[in-house]
Amino acid sequence: METFFLIAIVVLVFIVVFQISKASEYVSILKGEEKARKQDNKINGFLMMVFLVLGLIGVWWCNDALYHKTLFSYGAASTQGKSIDNMMWITIIITGIVFFITQILLFWFSYRYQESDKRKPLYFTHSNKLEIIWTGVPTITLTILIVFGLKYWFKFTGDAPKNSQIVEITGHQFGWEFRYPGKDGILGRKNYKLIDPAKKNPLGVDWSDAASHDDIHVATTVHVVVNRPVKFVINSMDVIHDVGLPAFRLKMDAVPGTPTTEWFTPIYTTAEMKKKTGNPDFEYEIVCDQLCGKGHFSMRGIIIVETQKEYNAWMIKQRPEYRSAMAAVNSAASDQTLALEANQDKKTN
Amino acid sequence: MENEGVLHEKPIVLHETDHPTSHGHHKQNFIRKYIFSEDHKMISHQFVITGIIWAIIGGFFSVIFRLQLGFPDQTFPWLEDVFGHWAQGGRLDTEFYYALVTMHGTILVFFVLTAGLSGTFSNYLIPLQIGARDMASPFLNMLSYWFFFAASVVMFSSLFLTTGPASGGWTIYPPLSALRDAMDGSKAGMDYWLVSIALFIISTLLGGLNYVTTVLNMRTKGMYMTRLPLTIWSFLFTAILGVLTFPVLLSAVVLLLFDRHLGTSFYLSDIYINGKILPNEGGSPILFQHLFWFLGHPEVYIIALPAMGITSEVISTNARKPIFGYMAMVASFFAIATLSFLVWAHHMFVSGMNPFLGSFFVLFTLLIAVPSSIKVFNWLTTLWKGNISFTPAMLFAIGFVSLFISGGLTGIWLGNSALDLHLHDTYFVIAHFHLVMGVASMFGMFAGIYHWYPKMFGRFMNNTLAYIHFWVTLAGAYLIFWPMHYEGLAGMPRRYYDFSSWESFKMFQDLNAFISVVAIIVFATQFLFIFNFFYSMYKGRKVTEKNKNPWGSTTLEWTTPIHPPHGNWTSEVPEVYRWSYDYGKDGRDFIPQTEPIGSEEIQH
């Protein structure tokens, strides 16, 4: 019923608006078209000014209402993120100045130079001086932004420091898996053809590589140490995903068949961030940023940043995946042997 | 139709020495005149009306998915009445949500803003403004529309498949789009999508080759390239971009079809999905992204350039002043068109592409801001000391400049790869491209329709409706997209069905509801335009001989009869003596291009 009322109201509004518009056309013919046109012109010129003033107030008001909800309000949580925020401030200031100048000029000119019988428009076709100024100034400004941008870009996408902690992260529809290299610091070889959840090998680790025997596999939540660079080696099992880390200001696609990396140095622990943001439920969330299927929006991972001590206490409780996989294989094998024996028993009987 | 007497079967495409009246007078039947028409004006009507229908569908889809984003906890039982099992219990199915998002993008980018904008105005204005009787090949021109129509039919049919239309985003990245197991939309819907786009590419190529040939070869006597209105320059560059980049998308589409059906591995490698280990090895999904964006980025200029051309023409005409810096405008069109071939990988900074390669794309991407800013400054200077008449077209042209500035400046953020690391695929991107090429180009299209409507249909649209349409749409566009920048700065990702389980994003729920409400109001307001458009076609105020050139334009299209016949001019094609921007020169309001230069007159 409500829906019908709503539709009826909308249709009614349309009819009223239309009738008024149609009537205004007749009125303008009665009044004299030229006079009516000039009146419309005045109204629209005035509205240009109204729009400019309300728009500027709106920009301020929107910033007031939403700024504290952005990540800027409490700063980046990684050293890289700090640089990116700096860069962002430089860009905000430059583009902000251009924005205000050009928008104000646009609406001011529209208002100021609205049609008037007194004015003769200026026949002004070109000016090389002006053209050179507004080709040159943007070029120089943009060069500055390019230089800053590329400096940071090469720093962030270059090699991770030697002392980095390495963690492998694998995306699949719809979740994240993590693998630590264990004591030897080397991740064991993988081959996607060996993936077999039934044999407790969901990542397709090649057990014939001895380096894999101490690797530790955890799902969804990853623990890393504060103030120590961490390097993610990123894989995907099926379609393209993306490891988005808004709090650290980073992002990198997970591409099937092509491993990628991203590294950063977290500078606040999760506990510190809970205080900083005033949100007791705060978590460093891993956000999938590349459409990966119908569960895309639910592909959430968590990074727990903690002190070395807390990390050690957690790590010591983890068991290498190799052991559980071997246990699974052995029990499957013994099941098979039992079945075989039973068969043979039947035959001999 | 009082001009039917001069219609003739084959358009006269040669120069003004031909007299169309010397050909036989005969009537064309309904089918040849309205359906399989070879008249560029009729084809342009076909494009604009098909474009409007697609715009309603594409816009409606966005309203539906905005309902989900704005009110994730509520149910809307009427959705189930409309969409059946896709909205069981009045709540959108996640799969269907992604289908709507994908179709919204595909429809708006390709069918509305490419075919609807460039198809309509290139067809309508090129022959009329350069002084030609029709396109170089009217037959190919007709085919171009009918391939677009076929593409539309295929895409429209895909909406009714059991497994739904394509739902992997309008960028259809494989492996998601290549594997039937990855999502329902990658089943039959994806094949329909690929076939439809292949047909669409053929349509664009036929149209584009025709536009380029016509502009280069069929200008009337005296119409040197430097005397062309900027609209024609923009259509020329648009067509060149389309002809050079759409074939690359076709190759991407064909290879994807091979991967889907013939077991090849162009884009596939090392995949385990749905409990199956796939045999494909050695392919690269990144290859697809290169091929896609090699079209995909020029595509946004294919969308934006015609809007810029229309805006330049409309602003100059209604400010009663010549466009400022004509040659700089042409040069910046050229620079934008050239640079747009060198920026495609700025969509791929975080795709796993070599970061060193990325640095070149940062350079070229930020450089493309230079010609864009030249254009903005030139428009501003054109307004300065003008005598502005706020016709509906002029309002939309001013709106275009405002939106283009707002959306263009954020391009400087996103083009800088270091910032893109944070902003890529967030709502910041949504805000950026909707303002700069989505809404802005729609504004260019509205400006064009309001401006040339009297020529196209011989009647005027209602001004009051147009004014309401403009102010609500402009305010609405800012209310919808401005706050999205803040969501993007918080890292809120695009293409999410629901944010309520995310600690980082759930505080934007109220804002999302607000945006959805505004989106619905703006969508409803568009019906004022649609109604105005169709109503005025039959009932609008008639154009009379007295106001046959209603905006006081200098260009050639206004020298044709009120209802231009097939062949455009009943007598000889007029000769041109000057550029198209002699407004306010020597104390005269405007001097048509057809008027010879006076002996005392200084050429610009």
pLDDT tens, residue by residue, A3-34: 788 889 888 999 999 899 888 888 888 888 88
Compute CA distances B403 → A64, A99, B102, B313, B399, whole Å: 22, 11, 24, 18, 6
Residues in A touching B471 (Cβ below 8 Å): 47, 51
Count CA atoms within 13 Å of residue A347 on its CB side.
6
Q: State which residue of chain B sits closest to A196, comparing Cα positions.
A: B275
CA distance B224 to chain A (A): 18
Which residue is associated with the tokens 């101490």?
A214
Mean pLDDT taken over chain B:
92
Confidence of residue A343 (pLDDT cuts 50, 70, 90): low
CB contact under 8 A, B504 and A247: yes
Q: Which candidate in B289, B316, B350 is best for mutational testing of the A interface (most A CBs within 10 A)?
A: B350
- Segment B428-437 shows an average pLDDT of 96
Compute the C-alpha angle B37/B39/B45, nearest 5°.
Answer: 80
Higher pLDDT, A318 or A344: A318
Query: Which of A91, A220, A253 best tests the B interface by mutation, with the highest count of B CBs <10 A?
Result: A253
| pLDDT surpassing 70 at residue B604 | no
Output the pLDDT for position B555.
Answer: 95
Mean of pLDDT values over A134-161: 91
pLDDT of B21 strictly over 60: no
Give the C-alpha separation, B549 to A3, whole Å.
Answer: 46
Task: Test B464 with A134 for CB contact under 8 angstroms.
Answer: no
Q: Is the pLDDT of residue A338 over 70?
A: no
**Which of A59, A71, A239 lies nearest to residue B491, judging by beta carbons?**
A71
- Which residues of A are less than 8 Å from B286 in CB distance? 255, 258
User: Å from B103 to nearest chain A CA?
Assistant: 14
Reply yes or no on whether the pLDDT at B4 is more than 60.
no
Q: Enumerate the residues of chain A whose CB falls inside 8 A of the CB of residue B462.
A: 21-22, 25
CA distances in angstroms from A166 to A183, A244, A252, listed in the order given: 12, 17, 16
A50–chain B Cβ distance below 8 A for any pair: no
Contact B175 A239 (CB under 8 A): yes
**3-class DSSP state for residue A258?**
strand
Bond from prior residue into A178 cis (ω within 30 degrees of 0): no
For B245-270, the DSSP string reads HHHHHHHHHHHHHHHHHT---SS--S
CA distance B493 to chain A (A): 6
Nearest chain B Cα distance for residue A208, angstroms: 19
- Cβ separation of A44 and B390 shorter than 8 Å? yes
Which of A19, A67, A104, A109 to mutate against chain B (most B CBs within 10 Å)? Answer: A109
pLDDT reported for residue B376: 96
Which amino acid is it at B362? V
Average pLDDT over residues B149-177: 95
The letter for the amino acid at A176 is W
Q: In this complex, is the C-beta atom of A36 within 8 Å of any C-beta atom belonging to chain B?
A: no
Secondary structure (3-state) at B482 = helix
Q: Is 70 exceeded by the pLDDT of residue A347? A: no
pLDDT value at residue B1: 38
Residues of chain B positioned with their CB less than 8 A from the CB of A102: 376, 380, 405
Q: Do B271 and A119 lie within an 8 Å CB cutoff?
A: no
Q: A245 to chain B nearest CA, in Å? A: 8
Strand order in the sheet with A250-254: A221-225, A300-306, A284-288, A241-245, A250-254
Question: In the beta sheet, which residues pair with residue A171?
Answer: A176, A236
* Least confident piece of the model among A25-39, A94-108, B16-30, B344-358: B16-30
Signed CA dihedral, B464, B534, B310, B15: sign only:
negative
Strand A216-219 relative to strand A284-288, pairing: unpaired
Q: Name the residue among A111, A33, A16 with its Cα closest to residue B465.
A: A16
Nearest-10 crossing angle of helices B440-457, B392-414: 150
Taking CA A230 as the corner, what is the angle to CA A225 and CA A232, rounded to the nearest 5 degrees?
A: 130
B246-295, pLDDT tens digit by residue? 999 999 999 999 999 999 999 999 999 999 999 999 999 999 999 999 99
How far is the alpha carbon of A329 from chain B, nearest alpha carbon, in Å?
A: 18
CB contact under 8 A, B351 and A255: yes
Judge whether B463 and A40 are in contact, CB under 8 Å. Answer: yes
**Cα–Cα–Cα angle for B576, B582, B584, nearest 5°?**
150
Helix locations, A67-127, DSSP H: 79-112
Alpha carbon distance B518, B6 (integer Å)? 50
Between B327, B363, B503, which is nearest A146 by CB?
Answer: B363
Q: What is the share, in percent, of chain B residues with pLDDT greater than 90?
A: 88
User: pTM score, two decimals?
Assistant: 0.93
Residues in chain A within 8 Å Cβ distance of B179: 238-239
Contact indicator for B405, B342 with CB cutoff of 8 Å: no
CA distance A345 to chain B (A): 35
**What mean pLDDT do residues B315-338 have?**
95
Side chain identity at A335, as an amino acid letter? D
| Out of A47, A238, A246, closest to residue B271 by CB | A238
Confidence label for B30 from pLDDT (cuts 50, 70 and 90) = confident
**Lowest-pLDDT choice from A71-75, A332-336, B35-39:** A332-336
**Chain A contact set for B350 (CB, 8 A):** 242, 251-253
So what's the pLDDT on residue A5? 85
The dihedrals phi and psi of B230, each to the nearest 5 degrees, come to -65, -25
Q: Model confidence at A168, in pLDDT bands (50, 70, 90)?
A: very high
Instruction: Give B285's contacts in chain A (Cβ within 8 Å).
Output: 240, 255-258
Question: Residue A263: phi, psi to the nearest 5?
Answer: -135, 155
Summarize pLDDT for B435-454 with one digit per residue, the tens.
999 999 999 999 999 999 99
Tokens of B245: 């980049």
Task: Give dist(CA A291, CA B173) in Å, integer.
Answer: 9
Q: Which of B201, B180, B202, B182 is nearest to B191 (CA)?
A: B180
Q: Is A246–B380 a contact, with Cβ atoms under 8 angstroms apart?
A: no
Task: State which H helix or E strand residue B79 sits in.
Answer: helix B77-83
CB contact under 8 A, A126 and B327: yes
Residues whose CB falls within 8 Å of the CB of residue B549, separated by 6 or more in sequence, listed in order: B558, B559
Give contacts of B277 with chain A, Cβ < 8 Å.
192-193, 195
Q: Report chain B residues whose CB lies below 8 A from the CB of A10.
A: 524
A95 neighbourhood in chain B, CB within 8 Å: 409-410, 412-413
Task: Specify burial of residue A344 (Cβ count, 10 A radius: 0-12, 13-18, 19+).
Answer: exposed
- pLDDT of A71: 87
Rounded-to-10 torsion of CA B7, B12, B16, B21: -30
What are the residues facing B426 on neighbouring strands?
B493
Is residue B19 predicted with pLDDT exceeding 50?
no
Give the residue from A55, A131, A211, A72 showing the smallest Cα distance to B491: A72
Sign of the Cα torsion B143, B149, B153, B158 reads: positive
Contact call for residues B178 and B264 (beta carbons, < 8 A): no
Work out the burial of residue A164: count CB atoms within 10 Å of its CB; fewer than 13 is exposed, 13-18 middle, 19 or more buried.
middle
Residue of chain B whose Cα is closest to the Cα of A277 = B504
Q: Smallest Cβ distance to A84: which of B383, B421, B527? A: B421
Name the β-bridge partners of A233. A168, A261
A94/chain B closest Cα distance in angstroms: 9
CA separation for the pair B526, B45 (Å, rounded)? 19
Q: Are A292 and A174 in contact (CB under 8 A)?
A: yes
Residues 313-342, chain A: which have Cβ within 8 Å of B?
Answer: none
Strand order in the sheet with A260-264: A216-219, A175-180, A165-172, A230-236, A260-264
What is the helix (H) or strand (E) element at residue B365, kind and residue range? helix B355-367
Whether pLDDT at B111 is above 60:
yes
| Mean pLDDT value across chain A | 91
pLDDT bin (cut points 50, 70, 90) of residue B25 is: very low
Answer whether A153's CB lies under 8 Å from B362's CB.
Answer: yes
Residues of chain A above pLDDT 70, percent: 95
- pLDDT at res. B3: 43
Q: What pLDDT is attached to residue B596?
A: 92
Q: What is the pLDDT of residue A339?
A: 61
- Chain B hits for A258, CB-CB cut-off 8 Å, are 269, 284-286, 352
Which among B388, B412, B422 has CB closest to A110?
Answer: B388
Nearest CA in chain B to A54: B475
pLDDT of residue B98: 96
Contact B352 A260 (CB under 8 A): yes
With a pLDDT cut of 70, the percent of chain B lying above it is: 95
For residue B91, which phi and psi values (nearest 5 degrees)? -125, 135
- Give how far A106 is from chain B: nearest CA, Å: 6
Lowest mean pLDDT among B29-33, B233-237, B321-325, B539-543: B29-33
What is the chain A residue with the closest CA to B395? Answer: A44
Q: Cβ of B584 and A122 within 8 Å?
A: yes
**What is the least distance, in Å, from the CA of A314 to any CA of chain B?**
24
- Reading phi first (left if > 0) and then psi (alpha if -120 to 50, else beta), residue B133 is in alpha
Tell me whether residues B176 and A293 touch, CB distance under 8 A.
Answer: yes
Q: How confident is the model at residue B66 (pLDDT cuts 50, 70, 90)?
A: very high
Of A109, A115, A247, Cβ closest to residue B389: A115
Picking from B510, B307, B316, the residue whose alpha carbon sits closest to that of residue B394 is B316
Query: What is the pLDDT confidence band of residue B33, given thresholds at 50, 70 and 90?
Result: confident
With contact defined as beta carbons under 8 Å apart, do A302 and A285 qualify?
yes
Question: Are the beta carbons of B419 and A84 closer than 8 angstroms?
Answer: yes
Q: What are A171-184's pLDDT values in tens digits?
A: 999 999 999 998 89
